[in-house]
């Protein structure tokens, strides 16, 4: 049952992310719903399931992107593992640690993606506006996204 719930959540979040990015970007910037969802699940779920979510969401973003194929899959997988390691030392159930975590990881992921693009494809995808604003938007979004996944896991037992 949980397996189908996971599949449903994966597809639903992917579609919502696509709809959000295509239709509701503000000043051509939209909050990265996949990234915040990946981190929320990395906090909530056991590492194997969370890694699978993150890897396939990364792959989904790679397929939709034009840059280095596999870069997002690598970054999301590493991000998930980083959250898995750090959640043993910090309590990420509260909004403030979540906000700090997402802000730091957003910036690091952004820079890592930049590095991979320069190494493997020789193109520079850096958009300064995204670098400056997206981590903040993601940080503000994470408590809400986490609350939704928390509700799905603990109350509805879907995940």
Partner 1 sequence: MNSFRTEDSQNITKIVLGIYLSIACFLLIFPSSSFVYSARALFSYVLYPSLDYGAKSEFYLRNIPKNISNLLETDQENRRLSVLVNNNIIALNHANTLIKENERLVKLLDLSFSFSWDGTWARIINKSPNNCYSSFFIDKGENHGIKVNSTVIAAHGAKVGLVGRVFEVYNKFSKVVLITDNRFSSVGVFGRDETESLISGAGKELLKMRHIPIKADIAKNTEVFTSRTSILFPQGISIGRVSKIYSKKMVMNFIVADLFPTISIGNIKEVYIINRELPRELRDIKDLRK
Of 4-12, 67-75, 92-100, 134-142, the segment contacting partner 1 by CB under 8 A is 67-75
Cα–Cα distance for residue pair 101/97, rounded to 1 Å: 6
Residue 138 parent element (H or E) = helix 128-150
Q: Which of residues 17-56 bind partner 1 (CB under 8 A)?
A: 18, 21-22, 46-48, 51-52, 55
Residue 3 buriedness (CB in 10 A; 0-12 / 13-18 / 19+): exposed
Q: Which is nearer to partner 1, 42 or 101 (CB)?
A: 42
- Closest distance between partner 1 and the C-beta of residue 136, in Å? 23
Q: Which residue is it, tokens 């979510």?
A: 53
Residue 30 phi, psi (nearest 5): -125, 145
Size of the site for partner 1 (CB under 8 A): 29
Question: Candidates 69-77, 98-106, 138-146, 149-157 — which segment interacts with partner 1 by CB under 8 A?
Answer: 69-77
Tell whether residue 112 is a contact of partner 1 (CB under 8 A).
no
Of 30, 74, 107, 131, the one binding partner 1 (CB under 8 A) is 74
Taking the C-alpha atoms of residue 34 and residue 17, their distance in angstroms, rounded to an integer, is 6
């Amino acid at each position: 049952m949980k397996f189908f719930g996971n599949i449903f959540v994966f597809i639903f979040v992917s579609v919502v992310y696509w709809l959000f990015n295509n239709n509701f970007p503000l000043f051509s910037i939209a909050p990265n719903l996949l990234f915040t969802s990946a981190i929320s699940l990395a906090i909530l779920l056991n590492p194997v399931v969370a890694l699978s979510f993150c890897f396939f969401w990364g792959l989904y973003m790679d397929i939709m992107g034009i840059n280095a194929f596999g870069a997002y899959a690598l970054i999301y997988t590493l991000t998930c593992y980083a959250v898995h390691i750090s959640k043993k030392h910090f309590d990420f159930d509260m909004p403030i640690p979540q906000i700090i975590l997402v802000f730091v990881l957003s910036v690091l992921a952004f820079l890592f993606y930049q590095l991979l693009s320069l190494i493997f494809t020789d193109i520079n995808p850096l958009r300064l506006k995204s670098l400056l604003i997206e981590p903040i938007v993601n940080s503000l979004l994470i408590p809400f996204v986490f609350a939704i996944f928390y509700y799905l896991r603990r109350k509805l037992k879907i995940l």
